[in-house]
A and B are shown apart, each in its own frame.
Chain A
Amino acid sequence: MTELAALSVSAALIGLNNGDISSRDLAHACLAAILEHDPALRCFLAVDPQHALAQADAADARRARGGDLPPLLGLPIAVKDVLAVEGLPATAGSRILAGFQPPYTATAVRRLQQAGAIILGKTNTDEFAMGSSTENSAYFTTRNPWNTERVPGGSSGGSAAAVAARLTPAALGTDTGGSVRQPAAFCGVTGLKPTYGRVSRYGLIAYGSSLDTVGILARGAEDVAALFPHMAGHDPLDSTSASHPVTPIDLTAAESLAGLRVGVPEEYFIAGIQPAVEAAVRAAIDQLQALGAEVRPVSLPHTKYALPVYYLIAPAEASANLARFDGVRYGLRVENEDVIEMFKDTRGAGFGPEVIRRIMLGTYALSAGYYDAYYGQAQKVRTLIAQDFLTAFEQVDVIAAPVAPTTAFPIGGHGDDPLAMYLEDVFTLPANLAGVPGLAFPVGFDPDGLPIGMQLMGRHFEEAILLHAAHAYQQATDWHTHVPTLATP
């Protein structure tokens, strides 16, 4: 029964459309796989089997009626717990939102539901998506299915681990500084961070509003391409939503990469990168060349400043966004007769250490006397980083680079050193700062059997080119088809 849960999005949609499988069987298989493996992996913060099966039955009934069917009818997906889904809790991995039930659904989720997708549950995340390992979740740490002593990456670690462990064909994640791509790399799945503004942020619990994007994790580029057009597009409920048109992505002609110019930035192959990661990424670039792409060096000279820029801008935006958690309208309240003390006690008790750290850092960067030196300077250097990409994309169509300097690190491996954890994001932050799309996909394994990811970054709104290139690579290689061996409970 659970083998149905191992179907990719593409295979599941073929089976559903052919009538070989029902949505109920598919959803039931996913729920059974979750029941069997999630106690060890801990991908999910909330699963609602009755609701999922009711949606599946409704999808099957809709299919039986015939006529024009929604394109994803009956496909189960999981949703990262920073996106609001009416009827399910939304904690953002934080104690301050324990028990919160959002009264509406995020646009990205609602559009997929309108396209026929059904929601299995909410996946674990670092608190308010701040982290690279899920260790900052206030509830528990998700385990990497390839080695349960390792982190799954983060912050969309629950989504990545659930897709890798074949508990769901696909899952939504969010990427503010690498939170889709890095866990995709650590878990050996394919993850898309769209162009900033491409997918509505309405219903996404805000972290860094100029950086936040909603993305997809699935087995292969083909699967991501099947979902992406159904969640992208302009939304009047998000003032930064782009009006750029969305078209279906056809990957059928993706065997050859002739004419594609691939840039390799020297700044992403730095000292300290794990040798197996560099070797696998360089081999994957060779493979793109073998498929017809033209590979040439490019320079993104301000790459090393992405980390300090990000860790000023994202905390500054977070300090403003998280001001709304004050014990008044939703979530936790710690009672105090003085209203200001009530705010302080609530926030001090409700937020975890990483969230407090970033709120304080952002508050400081925005405070009187320091604004120009920190936040103002970071916004200027952000311009230089964005210009690096514009210049590079005059010479090449995509940029190929490692997703992270290492494979999945041990749980607890970074101890209490926030800066060491921030360095995990060094290769993913620039795309967020420049607003360009990025696609991570598996390109090998290290000697310990842990997956290695590569990312392709592209011009604004050119997600389809990234998916085309990754699909061609995945037609010629089989890294994305490897399945972790899960312990039988």
Chain B
Amino acid sequence: MALTRKDVEHIANLARLTLTDEELERYRLQLSSILAHVAQLQELDTADVPPYTGAVAGPHPLRPDEPGPSLPTATLLAGAPDTAHNQFRVPPIFDVPSDD
């Protein structure tokens, strides 16, 4: 299964990764080789096999949904690259129409 340059550019975009031309080409070759290896799974007939759902059969009871103490906001913001007004700050996500 050989990937094209367009394929890896699409994957890199979906995965939100900025990659150089040289990196794109290297990953194209490496991912193609890995995909060729995993293609052997297609030789198994799994029509009657259910997908795996977990190592250990239940019960996995849900815990009661009760409010409890959380870490302080300032503690959780302490590791952030940029904050303002007790919140994480990011570049603008929407185009804000100007007032004039």
A interface residues with partner B (beta carbon < 8 Å): 100-101, 103-104, 195-197, 210, 236, 239-240, 242-244, 304-305, 307-309, 311-312, 319, 323, 326-333, 336-345, 347-349, 351, 356-357, 359-361, 363-364, 367, 373-374, 376-384, 386, 418-419, 422, 433-436, 460-461
Contacts and interface: CB of A to CB of B under 8 A. Distances in A.
Contacts of A340: 16
Given A344-B16, A379-B51, A243 B91 contact: no
Given A101-B79, A374-B38, A377-B42, A383 B52 contact: yes
A348 B20 CA distance: 9
Contact of B81 (A240, A333, A367, A436): A333
A332 B81 contact: yes
How many chain B residues sit at the interface, stated as a range, is 35 or more
B49 A384 contact: yes
Given A103-B71, A103-B75, A338-B91, A379 B14 contact: no
Contacts of B79: 100-101, 103, 329-331
B71 to A, nearest CB: 5
B84 interface: no
B17 A460 contact: no
Interface string B28-56: 00110111011111101010011110111
B66 to A, nearest CB: 10
A345 B82 contact: no
Contacts of A307: 37
A356 B19 CA distance: 10
Given A373-B42, A378-B41, A339 B71 contact: no
A301 B35 CA distance: 22
B93 to A, nearest CB: 5
A363 B52 contact: no
Contacts of A332: 81
B96 interface: no
A128 B93 CA distance: 29
